[in-house]
A and B are shown apart, each in its own frame.
Chain A
Amino acid sequence: MKQRFGRIKKIDEISLERWEMEVKRKKRWRLRKKAVGVTLKTMAAACFAVLFLLPILLTITNSFMSASEISSNYGQVFATNDSGGKVYIAETVNLKFIPDMVSFSQYITVLLKSPEYLFKFWNSVILVVPIVVFQLLVAAGASFGFTRYRGRMKEIIFFVYIILMLMPYQVTLVPNYLVSDWLHILDTNWAIWLPGIFSPFAVYLLTKYMRRIPISVMEAAQIDGAGEWQIFRHICMPLCKGAMCSIAILIFIDYWNMVEQPLILLADEQKHPLSVFLSKINAGEIGLAFAVATIYMVPPILVFLYGEDYLVEGITYQGGIKG
C-alpha cells in the first residue's frame, strides 16, 4: 500500500511536468498552425484580388500613356481586330503597367478636342438616369400595392413579375421591339426608356423588402386615421429608404452596362450610348480608347465607393427568390 502510494506520486510528478510541456507545445503548435492557415488564406485572397483588380487598374494606368506610346505597344492588337485574320503577327505586344511618361494628352483630347465622345457619354446619362428614377417611382407604387391587402389575384400577378424578371434579354427583346414598332417609338430614346421603366426587377425587390415591414405598423397608422396615401408616404417610404438606394444602384449598374437594347432598338448610331460606341473605336483612335474607357468607368466606381454596403444589401435581398 505504502509502496504503491509512493510510486504513484512519483509518476504523477513526472507526468505533470510532461503534461505541462505537452500542453505548451500543443498550444504553440495550434497557434502556429492557425497563423499559417490565416496567412495562406490571406495570400490566396490577395492573389484573387490582384486578378480581379488587374484589368481595371491596367485600363486606368494605360489611359495616361501618350498616343504614340499606345500605338507602338498595342497598335497591332486593334489593327488585326478589323481584318480578323492572323496577318499582322510580326512583333510582340508589350503590356505595360506603368507608362513611360505620364501624360494627360489623351484626356485633353477627349474632353476638349473631340466632342463626339462626350456626346456619347451624355447619351448614356440621358438613357440611364430617367430609367433609374422612374423605375423606382413606379416600383414604389406597385410594391405598395402588392404589400397592402394581399390576395390570390395579386399573388398570381406577382408570380408573373418574377418570371418576367428572370427572363434573359433574348426573350424580352423581341416583344419590346414589336411594341416599339407598333407605338412608332422605335429609334427614339423612348424605346429604351419605357421597357426599362416598367421592368419588373425593382418591383420584385422592393416588394420583398416592404413585405418585411410589420403589418401592425401600417394598421396602427390606419387606426389613427391615416389614409392609404399617408401610409405610403409617411410609413412605407421612409422605412424603405435603404432598400431604394440599393435597388437604384443595382439598376444603375445594369443599365450603364447595357449593350443589347441600343443595338436592336436604336438603329441611329448617333443615339448609341458610350458602351456600344467604345467597341467601335477604330485603329486610328486607340490612343483615346483607354481614356474614354476610364471616363466611362468613373460614375459606377463613384457610386460603388459611396454605396457598397447598399449594393451588398441589395444583392442579399435577391437571394432566395421565394422570399
Chain B
Amino acid sequence: MHFPKSRKGQRMPRFAAHPYVKENNLRSIERNTKITVPSPKRGRKSSSNKKKHRGRLISAGYLLPSAVGVLLFFVLPFLIVVYYSMIDNPISAQFVLFDNFVMVFQNAAFIQAAKNTFTFSVSAVPLAVVLSLFLAMMLESKIPFQSQFRTFFLSPMMVPIASVVLIWQVLFHFNGMMNELRSIFDLDKIDWLNSGYAQVVIVILFLWKNLGYNMILFMAALSSIPKDILEVAILESASPFQVFIHIKLRYISSTILFVTIMSLINSFKVFREIYLLKGDYPYDTMYMLQHFMNNTFSRLDYQKMSAAAIMMAIVMVIIIGILFLTENYFGKDVEG
C-alpha cells in the first residue's frame, strides 16, 4: 500500500478519505484516531519535560565545581583587574579611567617590550608555520622510518626547556660552537646572546620547541583530505605542485589558520626561554612583555600591571575573534 505523503496536518483527512482504508484496514484507522486524540501525548510530554528539567539540573551540578573554580580564579579576579586598571591607587581609589593606560603607553620599558614581542612574533610565527608544514609534507610522503622521525620531531616538545638551556648557552656563547662554525667560513664572531642577534637565538629556540606540535596538527589535516579528490587530480595529470596549491592548501587552510594562532599565542609565552637563558634583565632586544609584567610585579605596581594585562587581553580577544570569523568563512568554503 502506498499513500501519498505530505505534511502531517494534511495527511490525516486524505488518509481517512481513502476508501480502502475506510472499509478494511481497521488497524490504520486506529492509528489515525490515536493521532487525532491529543490528550495522552500531551500528558506524557509534560512528564518527560519534568524529567528533562531534573536532568538539566543534575548536569549543571556536574559542571558546578569547575564553573565555581573558574569564576573564582579567572573571571572574578579579572573583573577586579579591570577595576584596578581604572583607579589611581588602591588606597584612595580615585577613578581615573584611562590614565593608567596612558602611563603604561608612555613607559619606555613597555614600549620596548611591546616592540620586541611584536618583532619576535612577526618573524617567528611565519617561520614556524611554513617549516612545520614542510616537515609534515615530508613525513606524509612515503619515506622509511616515518614513525621514528615523528618521535624525533616531537621530542623537543616533551623535554623541559630548563634542562636544555644549558646546552643552548654553550652553543651560543661568544666562544661557543656556533661561532666556531662561523669561523670555518671566515666569518666574524658574534656575541649571540648580548647583541642584536639575541632575537635570532630566541627564534631558533622557539622553532625547535614548537615545530613538532604544529607538525602533528598539519599531519592530521593532510591525512583528512579526501583521497578520491587527490586521485582525480592525478588522473587529470595535475603536477604535484598544482595538487599542493589547489587541493592540499585549500583543504588545510583552516588548520593553517589555527596553527598560526596557536603559534602566535605560544610566541607570547617565549618569556620562559629567555628567563632561563638570561634571567630577569636580558639584553634589550630580548626584553619581552612578560619581563615587563614580572618586573612590575616585584614593585607591586598594581595599576600599571592591570592596565598592561588588560591591553594584552584585548589584543588576544581580537586575535581569537579573527580566528573564529575566518574559520567560519573558510570552513563553509571547503565543505560546501
Same complex for A and B? Answer yes
Q: Across the interface, do B160 and A91 meet the contact criterion of CB distance under 8 Å?
A: no
Q: Across the interface, do A92 and B162 meet the contact criterion of CB distance under 8 Å?
A: no
For residue A70, give the distance in angstroms from its CB to the closest CB of chain B. 10
Q: How many CB-defined contacts (below 8 Å) exist between A and B?
A: 297
Assess whether A257 is interfacial by the CB under 8 Å rule: yes
- Could you list which residues of chain B lie within 8 angstroms of chain A, going by C-beta atoms? 52, 55-56, 58-67, 69-70, 72-78, 80-81, 84, 135, 138-139, 141-145, 149-171, 173-177, 180, 191, 194, 208, 211-213, 216-217, 220-221, 254-255, 258, 261-262, 265, 268-269, 271-272, 275-276, 279, 289-290, 293-294, 297, 305-306, 308-309, 312-313, 316-317, 320, 323-324, 327-328, 331
Complex: how many Å from CA A173 to CA B170? Answer: 32
Complex: how many Å from CA A91 to CA B180? Answer: 12
Q: Across the interface, do A175 and B163 meet the contact criterion of CB distance under 8 Å?
A: no
A163 neighbours in B (Cβ, 8 Å): 316-317, 320
Closest partner residue, chain A, to B135 (CB atom): A48
Q: Across the interface, do B52 and A168 meet the contact criterion of CB distance under 8 Å?
A: no
Complex: how many Å from CA A290 to CA B320? Answer: 40
Give the interface SS of chain B, mostly helix, strand, loop or mixed.
Answer: helix
B171 neighbours in A (Cβ, 8 Å): 55, 95
Q: Across the interface, do B276 and A278 meet the contact criterion of CB distance under 8 Å?
A: yes
Complex: how many Å from CA A260 to CA B169? Answer: 20
Whether A232 touches B62, Cβ cut-off 8 Å, given contacts A167-B316, A194-B69, is yes
Identify B156's interface contact among A52, A164, A290, CB under 8 A. Answer: A52
Chain A positions 36-87 with a Cβ under 8 Å from a chain B Cβ: 37-38, 41-42, 44-46, 48-49, 51-53, 55-56, 58-59, 62, 74, 76-78, 80-81, 84, 86
B60 neighbours in A (Cβ, 8 Å): 145
Assess whether A106 is interfacial by the CB under 8 Å rule: no
Assess whether A146 is interfacial by the CB under 8 Å rule: yes
User: Known contacts A56-B159, A95-B177, A315-B220; can you find 8 more A-B pairs with CB under 8 A?
Assistant: A38-B142, A55-B156, A77-B176, A142-B65, A171-B78, A289-B166, A304-B155, A315-B217
A274 neighbours in B (Cβ, 8 Å): 162
Closest partner residue, chain A, to B306 (CB atom): A174
Q: Across the interface, do A92 and B160 meet the contact criterion of CB distance under 8 Å?
A: no
Q: Across the interface, do A169 and B269 meet the contact criterion of CB distance under 8 Å?
A: yes
Complex: how many Å from CA A297 to CA B294? Answer: 26
Complex: how many Å from CA A232 to CA B52? Answer: 16
Identify B58's interface contact among A228, A263, A311, A320, CB under 8 A. Answer: A228
Q: What would be 7 A-B contacts, judged by CB atoms less than 8 Å apart?
A: A52-B152, A89-B174, A93-B170, A163-B316, A171-B312, A278-B276, A290-B166
Assess whether A275 is interfacial by the CB under 8 Å rule: yes
Q: Across the interface, do A279 and B313 meet the contact criterion of CB distance under 8 Å?
A: no
Identify B217's interface contact among A144, A178, A318, CB under 8 A. Answer: A318
Identify B81's interface contact among A91, A160, A174, A228, CB under 8 A. Answer: A174
Q: Across the interface, do B159 and A171 meet the contact criterion of CB distance under 8 Å?
A: no
A38 neighbours in B (Cβ, 8 Å): 141-144
Assess whether A117 is interfacial by the CB under 8 Å rule: no
For residue A26, give the distance in angstroms from its CB to the closest CB of chain B. 15
Q: Across the interface, do A164 and B169 meet the contact criterion of CB distance under 8 Å?
A: no
Q: Across the interface, do A322 and B327 meet the contact criterion of CB distance under 8 Å?
A: yes
B308 neighbours in A (Cβ, 8 Å): 170
B316 neighbours in A (Cβ, 8 Å): 163, 166-168, 171
Assess whether A155 is interfacial by the CB under 8 Å rule: no
Assess whether A198 is interfacial by the CB under 8 Å rule: yes
Complex: how many Å from CA A161 to CA B176? Answer: 45
B268 neighbours in A (Cβ, 8 Å): 168, 170
B180 neighbours in A (Cβ, 8 Å): 92
5 interchain residue pairs of minimum CB distance: A145-B63, A198-B69, A175-B77, A142-B66, A293-B163
